[in-house]
Chains A and B, each alone.
Chain A
Amino acid sequence: MTTRPTIAGIATGTPDGGVAIVRLSGPGCAAIGAALCRSLPAPRTAALRSIALGDGEREHGLVVWMPGPGSFTGEDVLELHVHAGARNVAAVLDAVLDAGATAAGPGDFSRRAFENGRLDLAEAEGLAAIVGAQTDEALRQARRLAGGELTRQVEAVRERVVDLQAEIEANLDFPEDVDAADVRRWARETAALHGEVEQWLRRFEAGRRARERARIVLAGPPNAGKSSLFNALLGQARALVADVPGTTRDYVDAPLTVGPYAATLVDTAGLREGADAIERAGVALSEDQLAGADVVVWVEAADEPDAPVPAALAQRHVVHVETKRDRHRRREGWLGIALPPEGAPPVGLDALREALAQWFRADGDGAWIGLQRHRQRAEDAAVALVQAQARMVDASALELAAFSVSVAAARLAEITGRGAAGPVGAEVLDRIFARFCIGK
């Protein structure tokens, strides 16, 4: 009775690989498979079949038949493992389309998996993140997202939020059947839930640092040895170094690896007043770099007086470094760097690397993937929980507190993409009737 189309697409097969997989999903899989291959193998076993192509030719390949709903998409799925090569794969795909399938668009298979409840939104985003991962840490986090780790935690907290909502709603709708409003306990529970969401937000931030290519900006007064430090961190002479103040005019950047983390290291012009027009332009660029920095390594030389600190530094994570310690020592608590004669690595560089790695690790426990969408929903939920708690002083604003709690529950449901639709109040009423004896 359903006319939902069967989709087909090339699931994998790089041009220089040996095998490509043409994948189909939908109710027509069995019929198309039978038409092209004469018979289908037993479910979930691979078997060699001769596949009829349009022009009377035949292709030999492994065929895997995975009837729904236990498949990736939740529908019948058929895979044809055929010889790679653009022309051959196109011929197989043509035969499949001629037999009644529709060409799949980008993300169509994942979309069907989502619609059929085999995958929730966060898990689907995890799959996309796996494909797009550019660092090992990003891949690790994406796998956990696709594996449902975020979904499970969000769902656990959302459960508690909806339980709280059910208690409050029961009190609003059935005051004669349930105990008196326990506003204090509800306020405590709301605060605890808010704490959970705030904890996620911190882990999201840690995850973002670990995953994304952070900008580490070297800045400080002229002739402090920033470019020497830049080259030393990179292990190559990338920036021009001279013992003349104002040598660096433009900024220079290069990729840097800090343990397992990827970063971009930026060397900037020394910050000072005056000098010529070109150097002033360089200083302006440095200030832009400071504004966009994740970490600022603020460098001053041990044999120079304290330099004025730019205002932009107040909002940044700053690692203080004193160079030329081989000549002098002025600033307590700063990381010291001594530049030995040409060729040998500077003393104190490992301590600086460790300080940078510490920033990446942030709060330490569980760097977590929180895509921007997840972060926004979690922030909204946190705000709604704060508002709810503020209204839980006595029962007089309970219906407004209930509104805020429901907003929090809705935002959490949006992270997983489930549970927001359906009859109004049904989920809460189900919980009320399961838990309370209603019926005056």
Chain B
Amino acid sequence: MTRPIVIVVGAGHAGLEAAFAARRVGAHVRVVTGRLDTIGQTPCNPSVGGIAKGHLVKEIDALGGLMGRAADACAIHGRVLNRSKGPAVQATRLQVDKAKYGAYVTAALTSAEGIDIVEGLVAAIVLSGRRATGVRLADGRVVDGDAVVVTTGTFLGGILHTGADKTPGGRVGEAPATGLSQHLAELGFALRRLKTGTPPRLDGRTIDWDRMEPQPTEDPVPRFGWADDVPPPPPLLPQVDCALTWTNPRTHEIIEAHLSESPMYSGQITGRGPRYCPSVEDKVVRFAHRDRHQVFVEPEGLDTHSVYPNGISTSLPARVQAAFVATIEGLEHATMLRPGYAVEYDAVDARALDHRLHAKDYDNLAFAGQVNGTSGYEEAGAQGLVAGANAALALLGRAPLRVGRDEGYLGVLVDDLVTQGCDEPYRMFTSRAEYRILLREDNADVRLGPIAHACGLIDDARAQANARRLDATMKEADAQAKGRETDAAPHIRLRAQAHRTYEGYVDKLRAEVARLRGDGGADLPLPVDLDYDALAGLSTEAAQRLTAVRPSTTGQAARIPGITPAAVATLWAHARRLQRERAATG
């Protein structure tokens, strides 16, 4: 039998996970990327993980993905956030050596058997009827395949802004995919203009580190992989310190005086930026009462002097950036290696996708990552895994990979995207997860291991290692409950403690969520072609919102913005009637 071919457009975090997942499931993979030397870049901050994001990385890892392992191999600084709080909200964050990270994932991709790499810029999806069968490149070449996963990041109609300078591009030095953007619009995909930004890069040799508060790495350095993983986690790199400093009123004065030169404020940028990651211009304007904002000073690698000042993302002109950076304690003499910039790009309205991240109106066409309106490496990687695995599973005629909201942040992410679309770049937060106390970093393998094994994403050896770890955890939990001392490994002890912390809340939580959903506790299926305008008892507004999403279940309908409990009750009654009719005729 010849293997079906999955084409992955892009080789960023989404593209990489999509390629490896499709390959592990059993497809042959063709990765089309603009440039071979920018595979798996980390163009924004140098860290992987963080609150809710670390959870996603653990889930990617549990599903056999690449990101956690790559971050473990390239980490030069690590912390567990929220240490003083319960295990459900504790999260791992590693800072990686950017160059080594890129090299690690490039090596993984190029050495993988069954994955080809094609260099070229994709201009169009090749369709046979409504089925995707390949991609056409800007130079006219066609890459043939059986399914297409689009992971173009910020490259769709990308424009970089620094002051009044506008450069078409998806990242510094790389051309955008303008043709593809227009092509997708012609296929009927609604596009949204979004914006994100990045701070200037500084030369670490010109920073006065002694004048800032040191932020040492934790000892032992936290890792995404388990000590008893099969294969074991990669060795550690040498660790470096980060530092903390602050902006001050002088910094704010300079920024305010030049606000009109920021494309955000001059009207040059129309795309919507994320509220959780505002530019320093936004911080100064919106939080005018604050006289300082923190700046985390983070080295970008062991073999580079480039330093990332986290917290002062900006698109002001380069000379203004240099001037305000020089007012910050410790950065007075810092040389700017590269100015910060804002990037504006088109994102696809993900409400056109189903829970496999495949287009509802086309076959074998999927979208993943920043192109769906998310921000962050972790969010991108998680989607890539879902889209890639499902492309291969569909071609092989197997059941889809579907993670529920109660099974993983990955499930929350996908469901939120296809239910809400996004007005601003979407980032994961623990407060988006109604099952937060079930979705911990420490039990990602317990939650997702069986699903991963069933889809072929992890091998038998890894599944057995998971089973042994779970067994040891439950034995330890039992021993702890009886007050018995054991010689269990530290990570087994912690897992057992976490399990015991939340054990008593699981049923209460599930009952509460079922009640909140207002659907009588059952999530009933809804036909995709349901005519909401004709459904008695729905307001016109509710009918419009439902038509825009075409939800697959009553539970999903209840999470659509602006949907009222009354509308949910109406839908639920209708779904139950449909179910009874089906039962009567079938």
Binds B, one of A2-10, A83-91, A300-308: A2-10
Contacts of A433 in B (CB 8 A): 275-276
Residues of A within 8 A of B275 (CB): 433, 438
Structural contact, A4 and B437, CB atoms closer than 8 A: no
Name the residue in A116, A172, A428 with the highest tally of chain B Cβ atoms < 10 Å from its Cβ. Answer: A172
Contact of B82 among A172, A397, A403 (CB under 8 A): A172
Which listed segment binds B: A39-47, A57-65, A186-194, A418-426? A418-426
Q: Which residues of A contact B86 (CB under 8 A)?
A: 396-400
For chain A, residues 398 to 440, give those with C-beta under 8 angstroms from any C-beta of chain B. Answer: 398-400, 403, 407, 410, 417-418, 420-426, 428-429, 432-433, 437-440
Query: Are A116 and B539 in contact (CB-based, < 8 A)?
Result: yes
B584 partner residues in chain A, CB cutoff 8 A:
none
Query: Pick the contact of B436 from A111, A181, A399, A429 — CB < 8 Å?
Result: A399
| Contact flags B494-510 to A (C-beta < 8 A → 1, else 0) | 00000000000100010
How many Å from the CB of B291 to the closest CB on chain A? 12
Contact status B296-A175, CB under 8 Å: no
Residues from chain A with Cβ under 8 Å of B296 in the complex: 176, 440
Q: Is the CB of A424 within 8 A of B412?
A: yes
Q: Are A439 and B534 in contact (CB under 8 A)?
A: no
Judged by DSSP, the binding face of A is loop
Whether a CB of chain B sits under 8 angstroms from the CB of A200 is no
Q: Is A395 an interface residue (CB 8 A)?
A: yes
Whether B99 is near chain A, meaning CB under 8 Å from some CB there, is no
- Assembly CA distance A4 to B542 (angstroms): 12
Q: Does residue A115 face the partner (Cβ distance < 8 Å to B)?
A: yes
Q: Are A421 and B533 in contact (CB under 8 A)?
A: no
A114 contacts chain B at the CB level, 8 A cutoff: yes
* Interface check A173, CB cutoff 8 A: yes
Does B561 lie within 8 Å of A438, measured CB to CB? no
Asked if B537 and A399 make an inter-chain contact with CB atoms under 8 angstroms apart, the answer reads: no
Find the B residue at minimum CB distance from A411. Answer: B515
Residue of B nearest to A180 (CB): B84
Residue of A nearest to B290 (CB): A437
Q: Give the residue of A111, A398, A428 whose beta carbon is less than 8 angstroms from that of B431.
A: A428
Interface residue from B84, B534, B537 paired with A181 (Cβ < 8 Å): B84
A437 contacts across to B, CB distance below 8 A = 278, 283, 286-287, 290, 293
Q: How far is the CB of B419 from chain A (nearest CB, A)?
A: 7
Q: Tell me if A344 counts as interface (CB < 8 A to partner B).
A: no
A278 at the interface (CB under 8 A from B): no
Asked if A4 meets B432 with Cβ closer than 8 Å, knowing A115-B566, A173-B52, A424-B559, the reply is no
List A residues 1-58 near B (Cβ within 8 Å): 1-5
Instruction: Indicate if A267 sits at the interface (CB-CB under 8 A).
Output: no
A116-B539, A424-B559, A437-B286 known; A418-B85 Cβ under 8 A: no
Residues of B within 8 A of A176 (CB): 81, 294, 296
Q: A403 to chain B: which residues have CB within 8 Å?
A: 436-437, 505, 509, 512
A346 to B403 CA separation, bound complex (whole angstroms): 78
Candidates B84, B405, B509; contact of A395 at CB < 8 Å = B84
Enumerate chain B residues within 8 angstroms of A420, measured Cβ to Cβ: 516, 518, 565
Q: A115-B566, A172-B431, A439-B277 are in contact. Are A396 and B84 (CB under 8 A)?
A: yes
Contacts of B51 in A (CB 8 A): 172-175
Give A residues with C-beta under 8 Å from B: 1-5, 74, 111-112, 114-117, 169, 172-177, 181, 394-400, 403, 407, 410, 417-418, 420-426, 428-429, 432-433, 437-440
Q: Would you give 29 A-B contacts (Cβ < 8 Å), ordered by A?
A: A1-B533, A2-B533, A3-B534, A115-B538, A115-B539, A115-B542, A116-B539, A173-B51, A173-B430, A174-B51, A174-B276, A175-B51, A176-B294, A395-B84, A395-B85, A397-B86, A399-B89, A400-B505, A403-B436, A421-B564, A421-B565, A422-B561, A424-B559, A425-B431, A426-B561, A429-B429, A433-B276, A437-B290, A440-B311
Rank and list the top 6 A-B pairs by shortest CB-CB distance, nearest first. Answer: A433-B275, A425-B431, A437-B287, A425-B432, A169-B431, A115-B539
Beyond A424-B412, A437-B286, 5 additional pairs, beta carbon < 8 A: A173-B429, A399-B89, A403-B437, A425-B433, A440-B294
